[in-house]
Amino acid sequence: MERMDTPIIQTEYGNVIGIRKHGCDEFLGIPFAEPPVGDLRFRHPVKKQPWTGLYFAVKGPKNPIQAKSRFSTGNNSEDCLYLNIFAPSDRKEKLPVMVWIYGGAYKIGGIGCKNESTDVLEYELGYFAKATNTIVVSVNYRLNVYGFLNLHFLGSRFDMNNGMYDQLMALQFVHDNIDAFGGDKDNITVFGQSAGGACTLALMTSELSSGLFQKAIVQSPSVDHFWTEKESEKVALDYLRILGVDKDYPERIMYKPYDKIGRAINLVTDKLILSGNLTCAFSPVIDGVFIKDYPKRLMKSCTKNLLIGYNKEEMRLYTNKAPNPILRVYSKVVKLDVRDGDETYKERMTKALSNKVIVEPTMNIVNNYPGKVWLYNYRYVTKEMAEMGLGCCHIAEFPVLFNWTNAMSDAHDPKTQRVGKMMRAVWKEFAWSELSMEPYSLNHSKIIFE
């Protein structure tokens, strides 16, 4: 594999050198904030101080702290506020910039290495950067209790929406420094999926991020997953009780070991699910500052160019292995309207749940959006996904869009290549298009990938 040093890049923080792989310059693990540890835990991020000498951005960072679960990532640390930059090596002009915000129910995820002993990233985006001829940036942000648990009402020692402020600081870094990497700071597209898609909606409608990006791609967003302050306070009290921390001494959370914090994260999540509340336990808070109202309401006055869509069988990722009796009980708990039909109950329940959580809230945004908006539907099922019984579920588009070969997809399969090439062409054209012009291939009311 081709691997060599990149040219040295001068940023406002200091000089950076990365690695060159397969025609892409990768700058991995660049810090955009001071480590949120010690006195900075549970606070808004603090801008990174300049460094002296040369920063070797040659290995991905660690992933944020998270509880162990079915979809969680390893290689975790509280010192996680880093970003990765992928830039085509042959760039000769300023390129559009695409900033990736991962999902994971605000609870899990990350853009770092899969484990300590490997250089393989959770999100390998070098091929995508080359295929779209854009500068692609992936950013870490704090999750679960560290990023979204609201303890501010118990003491000013704790800030709200730390994970959102992490994203904001990363965007500020990109805006201020991406020209040095060959990017155009006046043509930045933020794109995210699931919780990352909801974060993108919040960023689109926040005054604090004004001027930091111009366009957005929102994939399968968890549109309704935001708490009011009162709701977030109740979740926080439940969490502290489960963790065994007296609400009169909330600072004691800082001395609890990660394993106990993680177990409590899972328990409070399970409690919400069993109560029939579909909102993620650690969702962002409508704080009146960063998020002034539900983003779906504020979107009605947003004018950024928007590409938004969803997958055919979103919630099949979660219902696939659940027994029918459990699904029948849960559908009643969440007051789900599962209509009669010729399909199996699981298929009908999956469709109803997908409509409730993803499809209907997304279409509400599309139907009321005043700016330029394009809707896509992803319907392609890889052979691997079909064999696993997952169909076209939540996250099914990842390996196809990003050209990965893994348990979900074989990037060399001709059909997968065709759909992936089509998707990347649309993402590329959206990123490259001028704000005053409609991309020529996006002039349909709905774009189908199948």
Can you give the pLDDT at residue 438?
A: 61
Residue 31 located in a structural domain: yes
Residue 439 is predicted with a pLDDT of 55
Whether residues 324 and 241 share a domain: the answer is no
Residues near 338 by beta carbon (within 8 Å), at least 6 away in sequence = 331, 345, 348, 349, 352
Q: What per-residue confidence (pLDDT) applies to 172?
A: 98
* Angle (CA) 70 72 76, round 5°: 150
CATH of residue 360: 3.40.50.1820
Distance CA 436, CA 303 (A): 12
Instruction: Kindly report the backbone phi and psi dihedral angles of residue 376, in degrees, each rounded to the nearest multiple of 5, phi listed first.
Output: -120, 150
Closest CA to 241 of 272, 263, 264: 264
Spatial CA neighbour of 397 closest among 308, 307, 310, 306: 310
Quick one: pLDDT at residue 46? 98
Length of the chain in residues, anyone?
Answer: 450
The range of the structural domain enclosing residue 262 comes to 230-274
- What was the pLDDT predicted at 1? 40
pLDDT along the chain (450 residues), means of 10: 75 96 96 97 97 96 93 95 97 96 97 93 97 98 98 97 98 98 97 98 98 98 98 98 97 95 96 93 98 97 95 95 91 90 92 96 95 94 96 97 96 97 95 70 71
Q: What pLDDT was estimated at residue 5? A: 79
Instruction: Give the pLDDT confidence score for residue 69 in this predicted structure.
Output: 86
Looking at residue 437, what is its pLDDT?
A: 58
Of 445, 278, 297, the residue nearest 354 (C-alpha): 278
Whether residue 101 lies inside any domain: the answer is yes
Residues 339 and 303 occupy one common structural domain: yes
Query: Residues 345-379, buried b or exposed e (16+ Cβ, 10 A)?
Result: ebebbbbbbbbbbbbebbeebbeebeebbbbbebb
Helix (H, G, I), strand (E, B), or coil: what is residue 360? helix
Are 244 and 189 found together in one domain?
no
Same domain, 140 and 183: yes
Say what the pLDDT of residue 6 is: 83
Rounded to whole angstroms, the Cα distance separating 185 from 129 reads: 16
- What's the number of domains the chain is made of? 2
Beta strands in 274-372 (DSSP E): 305-311
Are 309 and 438 found together in one domain?
yes
